[in-house]
Chains A and B, each alone.
Chain A
Amino acid sequence: MALNEDKKLYHVSSSPHVRASVTTQKIMTDVIIAMLPATAFGVYRFGIGALIVVLATVAAAVISEYLYEYFMKRPITITDGSAVVTGMILALNMPPEIPVWMPMLGAVFAIIVVKQLYGGLGQNFMNPALAARCFLLISFSRAMTDFSASFPEGVDAVSGATPLAVLKAGGEASLSDLFFGNIAGTIGEVSVLMLLIGAAYLLIRGVISIRIPAVYIATVAVFMGLFGGRGFDLYYIACEICAGGLIFGAFFMATDYVTTPITPLGQILFGVFIGILTGVFRVFGASAEGVSYAIIIGNIVAPLIERATVPTPFGKGRYAEITKKLMHENTERGGK
């Protein structure tokens, strides 16, 4: 029973002994890549100031994660890319002319209060970037909703309204402007085209599933058709979908792994839930926007949805019924 003569110890571990090539870091890198078109467009539209906001916010997120982990004597995890993603999402949610320190403060709040204090990566109960955005919206509401400087040339900037506010007030928006990003808004949300390019990349790479975004957008569309006051006017509904950061929220924030249900059915219910909330906020709320609040309320409800939607294990419940039916059919066929 002697061990091998050279006393070399081989590795032992429980099966399986192979691993897929995908890692957390690769997933985060894909998300960053997917946000680059929208970021680049934001910089193109709004100038170098937007770039500074993005870089400063990302830096603040990464540095605060590093410092927290350093002082708490925890392993440093900044290389996994999750802090970069948080910083980027937060920055893309900022008006282009915001004083840079505000999103930086937001990033610190996102990383330390929302993420690290709850246990770090995978433990936060709310999307850190969105929670920070809401924190900033409440704290600095004027700066956070001032898009006057972001208006495209030739557009009446005096009214100070985003397309969504215009729509809510009964006005008209230009769908092509919304789609190509010729509107006022935050750095990352303006161009639906650029966001969809990024979303397609995430879908092709298998980073996100289409479930939540599709159900979310469809629910908003139906809700606005029913309660938007203009019936199922396709042009109007398309404008509602393209406006107010819905596309950005649906593909980049409502698909956040940590804070959304993990079960397939739960993801569908989650999409419906935040879709209805978004519609309610848009139609009945004081502000024209509702995506951020809808998603973070959804985040809080996600664990409950998840618990209620555990899938039926293979061979149990309805699967057992299918089996019975198939076997019955077979005996009947045999009997004939």
Chain B
Amino acid sequence: MSLGTFKGGAHPYEGKVLSENCAIEELRFDGEYIFPLSQHIGAPAKACVQVGDTVLAGQVIAEAGGFISANVLSSVSGTVKAIEPRMQVSGFPVMSVVVESDGRFETVEGYGQKRDIDALSKDEIRDIVKAAGIVGIGGAGFPTAVKLMPKNDDAIDYFIANGSECEPYLTSDYRLMLEEGERIVGGVKICLGLFPNAKGIIAIEDNKPEAIKHMQELVKSEPRISVMQLKTKYPEGGERQLINAVTGRYINSSMLPADAGCIVHNVATLLAIYDAVAESKPLIEKTITVTGDAVATPKNVRVRLGSSYKKILDACGGLKTEANKFICGGPMMGQALYELDCPVTKPSSALCAFAHDEVAENPTTPCIRCGRCVAACPEHLVPPMLVKAANADDMEGFEKIGGMECMECGTCSYVCPARRPLTQTFKQARKKVAALRKIKAAEEKQRKEHEEAAKKEAEKKAEEMKKNETGKEVPSWR
């Protein structure tokens, strides 16, 4: 069987051995749970509870603030203690609902009630997913319901379940496939019901043979679903690379996967879809990996959203050696933490604690133009040229040579022998270009409004003049 893959990429140390054989453990804590109103891509949700209100697990505490947005649900029962900015993994405080747990984890009425999937209409399924607050929990945080609503359901011919888990050290998706495989397949089946022409493909990197075997066994009797092995390479699980590996199609930054007839969901998201649709369990918990060479006992744990990373780390035995770097997510795309007392959010996938900070230990040296970044870039970009443009503040040039196609996967920085902060430079430049685009759009809008107003004014004047002319009394001498 040939392995699906893409051109470029790198092979960072996988590190999955630390936690891949640890069965998922459930962790529950007392005390505060923090629910940021913005833990997805799109508009922040709007809080719909007051300080002092009692809430139940599974209750909506903030409603989606727009089309691209998502509900936020309480994961515990208790009292709303505060609605105020709290520190996030991003390093910034974000407006959050703080719930003091009563320790009983009482759920809303109807929680866990089985539903007959076949009896549900497409719209009902989408509404359930939307109400359940599900977003892409593989890391992107894009509202799932929006992804399930392409322009044309019939035009989707591939539905891809992303089980590649190419990010080093992470094993939560792997454990979910082994332990919750049936429900993941159930999630795929629910989604295939929405897209009548789609083939369901569960894509898994070949460094997870157990998961491949298990999932193959589970889809044996499913004519529309198959398992595809992918070459183990970072970033095989990036949406664009994954679609390319599975279908041979290419999508760029201005396209949605649906434009190429594809929809991609992480296996953990599919599990959440199944739970919400088939079992009336909205998204209130999440499986994450706690790992790294500084963690006493690396584990895969199922925790309630809003739990503090600090408590989770303590529950994993704390640190066995001094840690210099904490990362929320994996080492390639994760966010470094300077404060551990941050809540688990929907896109969180891991907490890594490392004794060494490879970034600080590897000082930057001059670029020798070795071309490793060019060979490794999965988007076929030329990082040294982009850096030159970005450093010269030449945003037009940056865009022209494809800067906005960069997906910040970090492969170029990883392979660089001169340890240059390439990805970091591109992140900044891309933000700048996006901001400039916004400014330009606003100016354009303003200009148009001005023009329109002027036009209206002119029309009004012309009309008045006409009126005046017709209404004018004819001088008697004429």
Main secondary structure of the interface of A (DSSP, over half): loop
| B374/A24 in contact, CB under 8 A | no
Hey, which chain B residues are within 8 Å of A263, CB to CB?
Answer: 374, 382
8 Å CB contacts to A: which residues of B156-192? 157, 168
Hey, which chain B residues are within 8 Å of A121, CB to CB?
Answer: 365-366, 368
Q: Does B410 contact A (CB under 8 A)?
A: yes
| B359/A313 in contact, CB under 8 A | no
Count residues of chain A with CB under 8 A from any CB of chain B: 50
- Per-residue interface assignment for chain B, residues 356 to 394, with 1 indicating a CB less than 8 Å from any chain A CB and 0 otherwise: 011110100111111110110011111011000000000
8 Å CB contacts to B: which residues of A1-29? 1-4, 9-20, 22-24, 26-27
| A10/B325 in contact, CB under 8 A | yes
| A15/B380 in contact, CB under 8 A | no
| B332/A10 in contact, CB under 8 A | no
| B357/A13 in contact, CB under 8 A | yes
Assembled-state Cα–Cα distance A101/B414 (Å): 43
Hey, which chain B residues are within 8 Å of A311, CB to CB?
Answer: 374, 380-382
Q: Does B424 contact A (CB under 8 A)?
A: yes
Q: Does A312 contact B (CB under 8 A)?
A: yes
Known: A17-B331, A315-B240. A27 touches B249 (CB 8 A): no
Q: When A and B form their complex, what is the total count of cross-chain residue pairs whose Cβ atoms lie within 8 Å?
A: 195
Select one of B261, B371, B381, B385 contacting A327, CB under 8 A.
B261
- Per-residue interface assignment for chain A, residues 313 to 326, with 1 indicating a CB less than 8 Å from any chain B CB and 0 otherwise: 11110011011001
Hey, which chain A residues are within 8 Å of B359, CB to CB?
Answer: 11, 13, 17, 19
| A313/B249 in contact, CB under 8 A | no
Hey, which chain B residues are within 8 Å of A306, CB to CB?
Answer: 385
Select one of A9, A15, A122, A262 contacting B423, CB under 8 A.
A15
CB A263 to nearest CB in B, in angstroms, measures 6
| A18/B365 in contact, CB under 8 A | no
Assembled-state Cα–Cα distance A327/B380 (Å): 22
| A12/B338 in contact, CB under 8 A | yes
Assembled-state Cα–Cα distance A24/B365 (Å): 8
Q: Does B107 contact A (CB under 8 A)?
A: no
Select one of A19, A82, A320 contacting B252, CB under 8 A.
A320
Known: A310-B385, A315-B252, A315-B255. A330 touches B157 (CB 8 A): yes
Assembled-state Cα–Cα distance A297/B341 (Å): 60
Assembled-state Cα–Cα distance A19/B358 (Å): 6
| B326/A10 in contact, CB under 8 A | yes
8 Å CB contacts to A: which residues of B203-261? 240, 244, 247-253, 255, 260-261
Assembled-state Cα–Cα distance A310/B411 (Å): 19
8 Å CB contacts to B: which residues of A282-336? 306, 310-316, 319-320, 322-323, 326-327, 330, 334
CB B430 to nearest CB in A, in angstroms, measures 12
CB A139 to nearest CB in B, in angstroms, measures 29
- Nearest CB to that of A259 among chain B residues? B369
8 Å CB contacts to A: which residues of B414-431? 414-419, 421, 423-424, 427
Assembled-state Cα–Cα distance A3/B362 (Å): 27
| A18/B13 in contact, CB under 8 A | yes
| A315/B251 in contact, CB under 8 A | yes
Q: Does B45 contact A (CB under 8 A)?
A: no
Hey, which chain A residues are within 8 Å of B324, CB to CB?
Answer: 10-11
8 Å CB contacts to B: which residues of A61-92? 77, 80, 82
CB A325 to nearest CB in B, in angstroms, measures 10
Known: A121-B366, A262-B369. A17 touches B424 (CB 8 A): no
Select one of A12, A19, A20, A313 contacting B91, CB under 8 A.
A12
Hey, which chain B residues are within 8 Å of A312, CB to CB?
Answer: 380
Q: Does A49 contact B (CB under 8 A)?
A: no
Select one of A12, A26, A257 contacting B336, CB under 8 A.
A12
Most chain B beta carbons < 10 A, residue from A1, A19, A257: A19
Assembled-state Cα–Cα distance A238/B236 (Å): 44
Assembled-state Cα–Cα distance A15/B332 (Å): 6
Q: Does A120 contact B (CB under 8 A)?
A: yes
Assembled-state Cα–Cα distance A320/B251 (Å): 7
Hey, which chain A residues are within 8 Å of B338, CB to CB?
Answer: 3, 9-10, 12
CB A16 to nearest CB in B, in angstroms, measures 3
Known: A26-B417, A262-B369. A330 touches B261 (CB 8 A): yes
| A257/B247 in contact, CB under 8 A | no
Select one of A1, A18, A22, A122 contacting B93, CB under 8 A.
A1
Q: Does A123 contact B (CB under 8 A)?
A: yes
Assembled-state Cα–Cα distance A263/B362 (Å): 26
Known: A18-B331, A120-B366. A314 touches B405 (CB 8 A): yes
Hey, which chain A residues are within 8 Å of B267, CB to CB?
Answer: none
| B421/A264 in contact, CB under 8 A | no
Hey, which chain B residues are within 8 Å of A3, CB to CB?
Answer: 338-339
| A15/B402 in contact, CB under 8 A | no
Q: Does B337 contact A (CB under 8 A)?
A: yes
- Per-residue interface assignment for chain B, residues 10 to 54, with 1 indicating a CB less than 8 Å from any chain A CB and 0 otherwise: 101100000000000000000000000000000000000000000
Assembled-state Cα–Cα distance A128/B370 (Å): 16
Known: A18-B331, A20-B10. A323 touches B249 (CB 8 A): yes
Q: Does A258 contact B (CB under 8 A)?
A: yes
Assembled-state Cα–Cα distance A284/B12 (Å): 51
| A80/B365 in contact, CB under 8 A | yes
Q: Does B58 contact A (CB under 8 A)?
A: no
Select one of A18, A257, A262, A320 contacting B250, CB under 8 A.
A320
- Nearest CB to that of B377 among chain A residues? A314
CB B118 to nearest CB in A, in angstroms, measures 24
| A15/B357 in contact, CB under 8 A | no
Q: Does B108 contact A (CB under 8 A)?
A: no
Assembled-state Cα–Cα distance A262/B380 (Å): 12
CB A264 to nearest CB in B, in angstroms, measures 7
Assembled-state Cα–Cα distance A247/B91 (Å): 55
- A sample of 26 inter-chain contacts (CB < 8 A) reads A3-B339, A4-B340, A10-B338, A11-B359, A12-B91, A13-B359, A13-B424, A16-B423, A17-B334, A17-B359, A18-B331, A19-B358, A20-B10, A20-B414, A24-B368, A122-B366, A209-B371, A209-B375, A313-B405, A314-B379, A315-B251, A315-B255, A322-B248, A323-B249, A326-B247, A334-B157
The 6 A-B pairs of least Cβ separation, nearest first, read A315-B252, A16-B410, A313-B402, A319-B250, A14-B424, A315-B250
Known: A10-B337, A121-B368, A257-B369. 7 other contacts (CB 8 A): A3-B338, A10-B336, A17-B334, A23-B419, A27-B368, A122-B418, A320-B252
